[in-house]
Structure 1
């Protein structure tokens, strides 16, 4: 019997034969990332890090807290209610200034003077002036390194007679600005002994001149470190209404590894390379 291939199966055989003869497809080449020249330079260039300068800690004794100080340089101001202790040097502070009362500190070529100003237009300013005794104030403070700037010789009996002649035998009330300077409490006590009562008006370094200009206070303590600063208070109230009280020097202590110079204002400052 003769075998005859049907057309359908014939075409299938042809397709299979052609498929078997085709070559395998060539795969696409792998995509290998390349580094651009800029990226290569950036990767190989070390990052420069500028070291941060260490901040110098500058301690100011609480007795100098309200004294305007012309510090030059960038410092971290360290303030505390406690006096500066040499044992804390290098621990809580790097350089410190305080009243010149301790040995081992460097004496600075400046001093601080403290006085009290009165209102020129007050009828009580004259007797307030004469009622304040700077040597007694220093004795009451118990600080032998303070130097009195006025003798305060008016006897209490004379002051009481003057009060009676003013029609104020039982005293009167005045408003006293309080900012935290040495001697404020002692002045209140001295005036109180003559029945002159003081109403405490809290002040700050920022608002005391405003309070004075507004007439809110009758007297307050002020400071100066040179003639120019004193002249500012004299210009404000007049020489007759500025009573100098006492003066004291300033000293400093610093870490021995710091390079210290004294500024034109007489204060120690750190020289950085």
Structure 2
């Protein structure tokens, strides 16, 4: 009798434990299902779907080839709300635009003037409201073929160059649509320098960004150059190449006093420039004590 009661108690406890285990497993499965659904929902916004008429056009997204049209749900990394896109097909006007995610983009390619019956044909673009709702289509205005120009950028001393956020090869020209674009040069020691540039249609823009300045220091007679009160290994005459910062230049020679004759008096503040290379000239006269 006692043994039977013990067995019943053990079975009851086992059943309760098993029920609790099933509840925990169900909760875990439900939790991961919610996480997975949330992830899928957010990732749906990071796809591009592009069609062209005619098809088989090369699509480049943010400098990376995505394939040939039609393109279905091309995954785009990053956190931006839109990406630069180029669409190219031999014999047709190239499209250079910026597209958002979560919609289907449809383009009608225009023949290159002289290659078809309608010279200068326009580029029509349809933007469909949602990949899951093909009936939701919004017609965008017909646009003229983009006008383009060429940009050549270099940086001294050598560093990384970015145009509109995309790193470029400084040895190759960049073809851009006419208008304003952003240039950023980056150096491991001197940091970043950002500038805007205006591209003209059919023109070439050459830009050299200088992260250093030339400081020409001379004295009569010669002396040791001081930078911010510290003795350097440089003597006059000399041309110093200094990066961004604030500097106070002086001359020291044992038994002599220095008087500045030319150049800015006081500290010099040097900043990078994408125009002319910054330069300064300082001339001192030394008088024996």
Q: More strand per residue: 1 or 2?
A: 2
TM-score band by shorter chain is: under 0.3
TM-score by length of 2: 0.19
Using CA pairs below 8 Å that are at least 6 residues apart, which structure has the higher relative contact order? 1
TM-score by length of 1: 0.20
Q: More helix per residue: 1 or 2?
A: 1
